[in-house]
Amino acid sequence: MNLILLLVLVVAAGAVLSVQAAINGRLGQTVGVLRSSLVTFSVGTLVTGLLILFFEPAQAVSLLEVPKWQLTGALFGVVYMMVMVGAVPIVGTAVATVAVIVGQLAMGMLIDNFGWMGNTAIELSASRVLAMLCLALALVFMYRSSTRQAD
């Protein structure tokens, strides 16, 4: 039951993410990639900081004590945001989103399969590979439909 609740939460987070991509694509068009990303990240930092002050229980381990490579996630986030802000106005929200998903799933399966970066290993099955092919095909259809409309 808890797992289903978690899944619903994650689906909602996906919807939120695509709203964010659309808003940032629009913002990036008017003020540029750097400033629109900075707005998103600095507002995000302030919101998270406020949440920590009022809601986060004390933790045994702090950010300063974990291995430094565990803190490099933001580098990927910054690159992602800049690519999205640049790409969404050109290829459209749906195509950009599906392309991101193909990358996410390929890498997600690799990490799960090998248990990289301290994650629990989950083996790669035939149906997982087949699902990847379906997603790649979906990307092709999304791309074709958006380029044909431009002609």
15 lies in the site for other proteins, by CB under 8 A: yes
How many residues line the site for other proteins (CB under 8 A)?
125
Query: Residues 50 to 89: which contact other proteins by CB under 8 A?
Result: 51-52, 55-57, 59, 61-63, 66, 69-89
Shortest reach from residue 53's CB to other proteins, in Å: 10
Residue 49 in tokens: 């900081």
- 89 touches 28 (CB < 8 A): yes
Burial class of 48 by CB neighbour count within 10 A (0 to 12, 13 to 18, 19+): exposed
Provide the terminal-to-terminal Cα distance of the chain, rounded to the nearest Å.
49
Shortest reach from residue 121's CB to other proteins, in Å: 9
Burial class of 21 by CB neighbour count within 10 A (0 to 12, 13 to 18, 19+): buried
Map residues 91-130 to x or -, x wherever contact with other proteins holds by CB under 8 A: xxxxxxxxxxxxxxxxxxxxxx---xxxxx-x--xxxx-x
1 lies in the site for other proteins, by CB under 8 A: no
49 lies in the site for other proteins, by CB under 8 A: yes
CA angle 121, 124, 125 (to 5 degrees): 135
Shortest reach from residue 114's CB to other proteins, in Å: 10
